[in-house]
Amino acid sequence: MVCVVIFILESCASSGSSWDGPVTAIYIGHHYPVEMAITNDNPGTMKREARDNMSARRYAQREVLNKLGVRIEWVQYSDLIEEIPNGSASGQMFDLVRVLGNTSSLVEAQLLQPIDRYSAIFSDDQSSWMLWPEFFGHRYFVNIMLRAGPDAPLVYNIGMLDKVPALKENGQTVLPVHLWQQGNWTWSVFEDYLQKVHDYWSADWDGRMAWNADIRNAAIQAIWANGGHVYNNENLGFASQEAKEAVAFIERLRARRLLRNPDLKEGTSEQADYMDAWRFQWGHSVFANLRQWLAPDMVDAFNERRERMGIVPFPRPDWRDANDPAYRQVYDATDGYAVPINVSDERAELALRAIREYSLAYHRRLAGSDNAMDYLTGDKGAAISARRMYIDISSRAYGAAMLEVWKAMGANLQINEFAINTGMWHYWGIDVLGDSVFGLNDAESYSEWADQQLPAAQEMIDRITNAADGG
């Protein structure tokens, strides 16, 4: 019976479709397919954002069917190393797979095929941001989510800042977004700002922190703001002078207790779970590097306390002008979609065209526009995406500034930092940065330790690149 159903669906268009040819099912491996669902048994229990997401997914799947004759099927996977060659638990083979975090093991095992030859699919202005740059010698991944700024942008609790007298001018609180607008958002200004926050809130309770962050998120953003990188797909940069200057800045903030993270696993530099996010949610921390997918979890607690959230790019070093091209924001990726090695050229191309159309349709629907890019760059769409991130753009005092900074953060969408996707996030973040900053495992100062650890990191990159090329 299952075979009959599949045959019927793949042989004729669905009712109401504008596609009049045969329909092809494309199977996409996903670690949590419920996230891509297009129906819900009880929509009345869903929050507005979840309903909008589901409506946009439903629209996107219809558009893929109507324009390409493709029906997307999301298939659960548990272990891609095992399931790419053999299929899912149900035996279904994948045409695309969503890969989370570190991708190097899949590349090294030669389980993903390069997609360089399909680059033309993503050559237009609407979708060029989707195709990742080359790393490990080839292009492997596409991005399907329009997102402003890094995975964990710098955010702050506006209600808590409003209570700090030292931050007021003429009775109004000067927010980080105002300093950014004025071109005054520098490391020294940020440090002074954090000091004023610390002086006020730690006096109320020592458990309240000016800035609670996973040090890796803080450091990598400081490095990019200073013109550096950890691994930017061309070379390893964590031992550069720019990186060393940025880490020195982060270490100075830690020494002054302006940046803290009390929730480390014993004897390590690794943070326990997402405690930086939860402390921000609980009102223990005024600033945070909040992972964007966790933003909805903040809402109820913030609303209960009548507080609002703001956002700002990471500040620049004092020796760099606001328009210095070396002053950049990190744009990293926590996941990407790749083609398994055992997929035919015909199905690979069709799957990539389908995921492109799916992403653009999804964002057109959310933005209420014919242009998917309006979701971040158009006035109406940017207002929608900012509210979905729970950034307060409604205030007369700062709402316009907040929308301006949100649009600026969404102006550059090309993935530029690959530490998370190459194994460098753990190696650099734990064995290099963490050990040196927290004085673990006989590590020396970062400036010396980074130089010493660089050859081992390069050997790791070279090994994976060699394997990807069949060596």
8 has a pLDDT exceeding 80: no
Of 16 and 206, which is predicted with more confidence? 206
4 has a pLDDT exceeding 70: no
- Sequence-separated (6 or more) residues with CB below 8 Å from residue 191: 252, 253, 256, 258
Q: What pLDDT was estimated at residue 114?
A: 97
In eight-state DSSP terms, residue 43 is G
List phi, psi (to 5°) of 13.
Answer: -75, 150
What are the structure tokens assigned to 319, written together? Answer: 């020796």
| The CATH number of the domain covering residues in 154-330+387-413+432-453 | 3.40.190.10
Mean pLDDT to the nearest integer, 185-193: 98
Q: What pLDDT was estimated at residue 11?
A: 34
Q: What is each CA distance from 217 to 49, 252, 371, 469, in whole angstroms?
A: 26, 16, 32, 32
Q: What is the pLDDT of residues 45-70, one digit of tens each?
A: 888 889 999 999 999 999 999 999 99
In eight-state DSSP terms, residue 73 is E
Compute the distance between CA of residue 382 and CA of residue 375 in angstroms, rounded to an integer.
Answer: 5
Name the residue among 136, 5, 27 with its Cα closest to residue 75: 27
Mean pLDDT to the nearest integer, 360-374: 97
Q: What pLDDT was estimated at residue 44?
A: 76
Compute the distance between CA of residue 330 and CA of residue 315 in angstroms, rounded to an integer.
Answer: 12
Compute the distance between CA of residue 452 and CA of residue 274 in angstroms, rounded to an integer.
Answer: 30
Name the residue among 346, 331, 305 with its Cα closest to residue 414: 331
Parallel, antiparallel or unpaired: strands 209-212 and 259-260: parallel
Of 43 and 325, which is predicted with more confidence? 325
Contact 281, 297 (CB under 8 A): yes
Q: Do domains 2-147+333-371 and 154-330+387-413+432-453 have the same CATH topology?
A: yes
Compute the distance between CA of residue 276 and CA of residue 184 in angstroms, rounded to an integer.
Answer: 27
Mean pLDDT to the nearest integer, 118-141: 96
Q: What pLDDT was estimated at residue 17?
A: 56
Handedness of CA 402, 403, 408, 410 (dihedral sign): positive
* CATH T-level assignment (fold) for domain 2-147+333-371: D-Maltodextrin-Binding Protein; domain 2 (3.40.190)
12 has a pLDDT exceeding 80: no
CA angle 84, 87, 89 (to 5 degrees): 125
9 has a pLDDT exceeding 60: no
Q: What pLDDT was estimated at residue 119?
A: 97
Compute the distance between CA of residue 172 and CA of residue 165 in angstroms, rounded to an integer.
Answer: 9
Q: What is the pLDDT of residues 316-333, one digit of tens each?
A: 999 999 999 999 999 999
Q: What is the pLDDT of residues 285-319, one digit of tens each?
A: 999 999 999 999 999 999 999 999 999 999 999 99
Q: How far is the first Cα of the chain from the last one, in angstroms, to the nearest whole number?
A: 46
Compute the distance between CA of residue 133 and CA of residue 140 in angstroms, rounded to an integer.
Answer: 8
7 has a pLDDT exceeding 60: no
Q: What is the average pLDDT score of the chain?
A: 93
Mean pLDDT to the nearest integer, 371-378: 95
Q: What is the pLDDT of residues 412-464, one digit of tens each?
A: 899 999 999 998 999 999 999 999 999 999 999 999 999 999 999 999 999 99
Q: What pLDDT was estimated at residue 471?
A: 65
Q: What pLDDT was estimated at residue 5?
A: 31
Q: What is the pLDDT of residues 267-277, one digit of tens each?
A: 999 999 999 99
Instruction: Give the pLDDT band (50/70/90) at residue 91.
Output: very high
Compute the distance between CA of residue 217 and CA of residue 153 in angstroms, rounded to an integer.
Answer: 9
Instruction: Give the pLDDT band (50/70/90) at residue 13.
Output: very low
23 has a pLDDT exceeding 80: yes
Handedness of CA 105, 109, 111, 114 (dihedral sign): positive
In the chain, the amino acid numbered 188 is S
Radius of gyration of the chain (CA): 23
Mean pLDDT to the nearest integer, 385-407: 96
375 has a pLDDT exceeding 80: yes
163 has a pLDDT exceeding 50: yes
Name the residue among 387, 380, 385 with its Cα closest to residue 410: 385
Domain boundaries in the chain? 2-147+333-371, 154-330+387-413+432-453
Question: In 222-308, at which residue ranges do the beta strands (DSSP E only) sit?
Answer: 259-260, 285-289
